A and B are shown apart, each in its own frame.
Chain A
């Protein structure tokens, strides 16, 4: 009998499997860092993990607070600057990067800037950050969608996926041939992109999810792989790693907040406060 796992653990572990040994990897905050730490520890010991702030080749010991977090590691190999981290990507040295998604369309184009009108937004999201440049020049990009949405048309086109689909990305001449999103991970499944049309299709569903439920969130007629698989169940070794490295990621944001507040109150009570 294997250990029970949380949904977040499943997502992190699924993401980590995209990282191969000897790859150069740009990590973002949250899920990707934990995925990177897991990959480096279990599957990809020679991977070079990097942050866009210029922290190159680090081993995360605790989850990152942000993408300039030298406090999350014990030293690193090379201190460069942000400019060089991006030109390194432009020159083709980055194999894989990870981007969170606010809105995504069927060709993997991404909005992380705003929901609603740009000049009068309903939700003002963070913006591009590194996203538009990384998805442009990393050899491969993994998209993660947790709170975001699938749309027919983005409210703001922040980062170019496969543009209008087909060979339009390659034809634009702006990007290295063959680059672009390779996968979209959501809380319900894994989507990949058709090699010809570049339209996303459902490749894998997580245990407990159903194709019907997944379709409900998608405004177009979703294509489903004839070889649809179920996401592999995490092993005890993988679960143990994530739970030790990033217990706060394992439990997820709402439970973490609840338990942290409870803990702070208990501590204050003991000291005669509150």
Chain B
């Protein structure tokens, strides 16, 4: 069953209703354009105890770890602010022993999502990793991080990883309709698989569009409505990261975060001001404009470079032609009914 009525709600409501302490939480976005407003809202609601999945941790993972939301992390890439002293929240949490972590390769990680998305319990991955410490060093997943099986066809050793089906995915996209059809384009990464392997999906988007827009461009839909639990319209919802067709990455502001993130006290001050100190994204943008001027954001706005439209049209959309005749039989409805009656095919 789907719940395809109107799923539009605030970030506050979506996080409150669909994300719980101790969840397996997956960040759907990958390296570019992450769902910062949903992440900030999770921090504001002080959710705890997540096992967090992220294809490639950037600001998103570090903000959640800074806020103390994450117990366990499964990823392939940890953000550094640069240089030996440029560690961030993940490094500090590992040093403090408050975070457990499993390392995978990008491909291994993505394969786990693909297996989950398709209902498989495990999936074969590229076996070269067996020569490395990725295979040998195991944290909280232990034996189940990787298992080796014999190929029933060739007899060779095959490396496998288990499927993952997180409790909830958070993901930011360009546009969605109120039913939840989510459209995303640009670097596809593992975005669709992250969403589709999850049990619940919260979509935030730059804009909510009419259903007709979706229907005219189904090739851009990465998540169908019947899988989605909440749709949150939040312009600038990925700032300071980028959204193709909307705005570029805000290097200045991103740099402010990475600089602050190198030390616990400055990271805390940044979080206090920009995450906990703003009740929602509108308040965050207001604060940004007040501090730095709206012109800073205007400079980031995308110039249009539209995709060419695809023609989804057919020769006709009705069984009846312009003269009211059925196309193959060439008769009007009244004539067809008369023939049916003559042949005794109508039951009373």
A residues at B contact (CB < 8 Å):
2-7, 10, 22-24, 46, 48, 55-57, 61-63, 70-72, 74-80, 83-84, 87, 90-91, 93, 95, 207-208, 243-248, 250-252, 255-256, 259-260, 262-263, 266-267
Contact = CB atoms under 8 A, between A and B. Distances in A.
A244 B340 CA distance: 15
Interface of B: 1-5, 117-120, 179, 181, 211-212, 214-219, 221, 223-227, 312-320, 326, 328-331, 333, 336-337, 339-341, 343, 345-348
A46 B2 contact: yes
Contacts of B343: 255
A247 B329 contact: yes
A71 B223 CA distance: 23
Contacts of B225: 48, 57, 77-78
Contacts of A252: 345
Contact of B326 (A6, A248, A266): A248
Contacts of B226: 24, 48, 57, 93
B1 A22 contact: yes
A260 B328 CA distance: 5
The secondary structure that dominates the B interface is loop
A241 B39 CA distance: 48
A255 B345 contact: yes
Given A22-B2, A95-B1, A259-B339, A77 B119 contact: no
Given A255-B339, A260-B328, A208 B347 contact: yes
A77 B1 contact: no
6 contacts: A4-B348, A22-B1, A74-B313, A79-B218, A247-B333, A259-B329
B328 A248 contact: yes
A77 B218 contact: yes
Contact of B328 (A23, A91, A243, A256): A256
Contacts of A93: 226-227
B181 A78 contact: yes
Contacts of B227: 93
A251 B345 contact: yes
Contacts of B120: 87
The 9 closest A-B pairs by CB, nearest first: A4-B346, A263-B330, A75-B215, A87-B118, A71-B314, A78-B224, A259-B329, A91-B119, A79-B218
A103 B136 CA distance: 55
A76 B227 CA distance: 16
B68 to A, nearest CB: 33
Contacts of B329: 247-248, 251, 256, 259-260, 262-263
A46 B348 contact: no
Given A24-B226, A246-B319, A79 B219 contact: yes
B253 to A, nearest CB: 35
B345 A6 contact: yes
Nearest to B182: A78
A265 to B, nearest CB: 10
A90 B118 contact: yes
Nearest to B5: A46
B347 A48 contact: no
Nearest to B3: A22
Interface centre among A5, A78, A243 (most CB of B within 10 A): A78
